[in-house]
Structure 1
Amino acid sequence: MRLLLLFSLSLFLTSFYSQKVTLSGSVKDKTNGEDLIGVNVLVKELPGTGAASNVYGFYSVSLDPGTYTIIYRFVGYQTIEETITLNEDMVKNMELAPESAVLEEFNVNAEKDDENITSNEISTIKFNPKEIETIPVLFGEKDVLKTVTLLPGVKTAGEGNSGFFVRGGGADQNLILLDEAPVYNASHLLGFFSVFNSDALKDINLIKGGMPAQYGGRVSSVMDIKMKEGNSKGLSMTGGIGTISSKLTIEAPIVKDKGSFLISGRRTYADIFLRFAPDTSIRDSRLYFYDLNLKANYNISDKDRIFLSGYFGRDNFSFGDSFGFDWGNATGTIRWNHIYNNKLFSNTSVIFSDYKYRLNIGAAGFAFGSNIRDWNFKQDFQWFANDKHNVKFLA
């Protein structure tokens, strides 16, 4: 009944704005086909009018019929200006090319007095995983959670602990999501590293207060992390050999410009060197962790796209046959994006998360284990009513 009322409201308001025409579409990276989040789509003739692409790269702008100059602008990418005549609804998909330039001069402008009122994202910090590369890290391992603790209002939970406190909240009061799936234990190697391989990540969003309703309400903070979709233009490989671990990421198209996949793995190898120890008990010990990130997407049609993503990671520590413990996370997300029309966008998700912990004391014959497993179904809509109203609702 609720869903029927929402659709009825949508049809009524759409008819109310029927005198306007709509420009909509998606924005991608020209080099690898990744969706670009937060691209500004501006109307040159109408200052203050425009839209921003959502987390799937979709945008929608409603205007009076006429001729306009549309500006597509995103930091680190070439700005595109196109003059178009809008007499009816139009779908325009764009690809922006990365750009690096030397700035000759720049202006520093202060925010308006009412900026904190007009903005709909309160206490939200967004940053790109590429920014992590410039920050010195322990043993050369780039770490998302360690970088987050450098932000204002965020404090580390202590040395050897990947948890963090946000404005006085507890470490267990933070919701950490990876492609919408909750991660219950985000630490590796007793807390020295996090479970997030930065080579597989695309977008990181930390909300420190006023959490939006779609997250279900949280006491302290929400960290929403999105994985890359994979390169839909061609095969690409990146990797590295570090002091603690080595990693390899492979991206390639399933069908060029229609679908792609990503495989990213990371593993430590301290246990390999233990095999050369003279003591037998040490030689038989295990000391390692691994991560495996998988993601694939495919455009079924111009209005339908499916995503399949998963994460698998585990820590394994044991001292011969006398003592050992291990833990790990497994997540999976299936998503379906559908564009009903040039104003209504939907996302349907089936989410799985599993966390397991096990402790063995061989000498005493004692074993203990626990796990958390849950399934979630989520249906959310995003309605671009006009250039000043963007409505999100869940069913």
Structure 2
Amino acid sequence: MHLFGFRLYIIFLFLISGIVPVLQAQTRFTISGNVRDAATGEDLIGASVIAKGTNNGANTNTYGRYALTLPAGKYTLRFAYIGYQSVEQEVDLTGNKQIDIKLQTEATELKAVEIKADAPRNQLERTQMSKVDIPITKVKELPAIFGEVDVLKTLQLLPGVQSGNEGTTGFFVRGGGSDQNLIILDEALVYNASHLFGFFSVFNSDAIKNVEFYKGGFPAKFGGRLSSVVDVNLKDGNNQKFSGSGGIGLIASRLTLEGPINKGKSSYIISGRRTYFDVFT
């Protein structure tokens, strides 16, 4: 009996020694954090995070955050974004980790590039249809009425979008009414987006980071609207140094101030615009 019990004990230890490594290999942990611009502290949207040597990766969301779940082990993470220097970091993953990364801008001189378009095929392969990303830098490059750069007037230039009265910010998408457009500012619903009888919108271009415009097939998270969704994202503020911008126009003046509260961690941005309409009436 003692010999039989000893054999069972040996078999039990053998089974346990084989099960424990398997359980350890199946243990998974999450790496999360923010990817920001090293100079301004602005969140980088769509930056890629890849675990080299694996097929696992993630992209940052509209707040610059990412989350990547991997089995326990040692990895080399590569952080990359267009126009910025890539960063690689070694990680010994034994538990959930928070890794925040700041990327430096990088100017690269390229040789002549031949670009071939295949728009119909790309539209078929994309999971999100009828979406247009509009960086505020592109909006500011367009001619503006009375010198006032306006996001909603820029949307009127896109295919499938028709403007209302000449010079106003109202717009109609694919035959829908102007009240069938959902306009969101940092996840807050904007009920009245026009100002000064519709000559320009309430959005101050100096405080805007980017605009996402959905002409159809918009995600269910936006609720029920028939024509379109305009998702406006504001800047987070420069958490590295104080800066300001502004301008004086024929019908309005604007001023934007931003800077760090706790350098590298928190920031503020104050933006305002003043029209002269009441002065002349």
Report TM bin, short chain. 0.7 to 0.9
TM-score by length of 1: 0.59
- 1:183 matched residue in structure 2: 190
Q: Taking structure 1 as reference, are residues 139 and 126 closer, same or farther at Cα in structure 2, changes over 3 Å only?
A: same
1:97 equivalent to 2:104? Answer: yes
| CA displacement, residues 44-85 of structure 1 (integer Å, 9 cap, x when unaligned) | 4345x4211112211011234444443322233333233444
Match of 2:236?
Answer: 229
2:45 to 37, 46, 58: 37
Q: Indicate the structure with greater helix content.
A: 2
Cα 1:88/1:101, change in 2 over 3 Å: same
Q: Supply the AA of the counterpart residue of 2:208.
A: L
Aligned residue number for residue 130 of structure 1: 137
Q: What's the CA shift string for 1:77-133, capped at 9, x where partnerless?
A: 333233444454332111122333332244647679986566442221112211212
| Structure with more of its chain in strand, by fraction | 1
Q: Distance in 2 between matches of 1:212 and 1:134?
A: 30
1:251 pairs with 252, 258, 278, which one? 258
> Which of 163, 167, 170 is the matching residue for 1:163?
170
User: Displacement of 1:225 after TM fit?
Assistant: 0.8
Note the C-alpha offset of 1:37: 1.8
Bigger radius of gyration:
2
CA RMSD of aligned residues (A): 2.7
Q: Where do 5+ consecutive residues of structure 2 fail to align?
A: 1-22
1:140 to 137, 147, 158: 147
Task: Give the 3-state SS of the residue equivalent to 1:133 in structure 2.
Answer: helix
Residue number among 23, 35, 52 corresponding to 1:27 in the alignment: 35
Aligned counterpart, 2:128: 121
Contact conserved, 2:33 with 2:66, CA < 8 A, in 1?
yes
CA distance 1:194–1:88, change in 2 (3 Å): same
Give 1:206's aligned residue.
213
Q: Deviations over 1:23-42 (max 9, x none)?
A: 22111121222222221223
- Give 5+ residue unaligned stretches, structure 1: 1-14, 275-284, 286-395
Instruction: Describe the shift of the 1:120–1:263 C-alpha distance in structure 2 as closer, same or farther (beyond 3 A).
Output: same
What's the % identity of the aligned pairs?
47
Contact 1:211 1:218 in 2 (8 A): no
Aligned partner (choices 44, 57, 64) of residue 57 of structure 1: 64
In 1, are the aligned partners of 2:33 and 2:98 still within 8 Å (CA)?
yes
1:219 matched to 2:219:
no
Q: How does 1:254-333 map to 2 (within 5 A)?
A: 254-272=261-279, 274=280, 285=281
Cα distance in 1, alignment partners of residues 117 and 80 from structure 2: 20
Distance 2:118 2:29 in 1: 32
2:139 and 2:151 in contact (8 A); partners too: yes
Q: Compute the displacement of 1:271 (Å).
A: 4.5
Structure 2 SS opposite 1:190: coil
- Rounded Cα–Cα distance in structure 2 between residues aligned with 1:32 and 1:98: 11
Change (3 A) 1:173 1:112: closer
CA distance in 2, matches of 1:133, 1:99: 23
Mapped to 2, the partners of 1:44 and 1:165 lie a distance apart of: 47
How far apart are residue 216 of structure 1 and its match?
Answer: 1.2
Please say if residues 211 and 217 of structure 1, whose CA atoms lie closer than 8 Å, have aligned partners that are also in contact: no
- C-alpha distance in structure 2 between counterparts of 1:202 and 1:50, whole Å: 25
> Hey, what's the Cα distance between the residues in 1 that align with 2:113 and 2:94?
38
Code of the aligned partner of 1:189: L
Deviation at 1:198, TM superposition (A): 0.6
Structure-1 separation of matches of 2:260 and 2:185:
22
Counterpart amino acid of residue 256 in structure 2: T
Q: How many angstroms apart in 2 are the aligned matches of 1:74 and 1:151?
A: 27
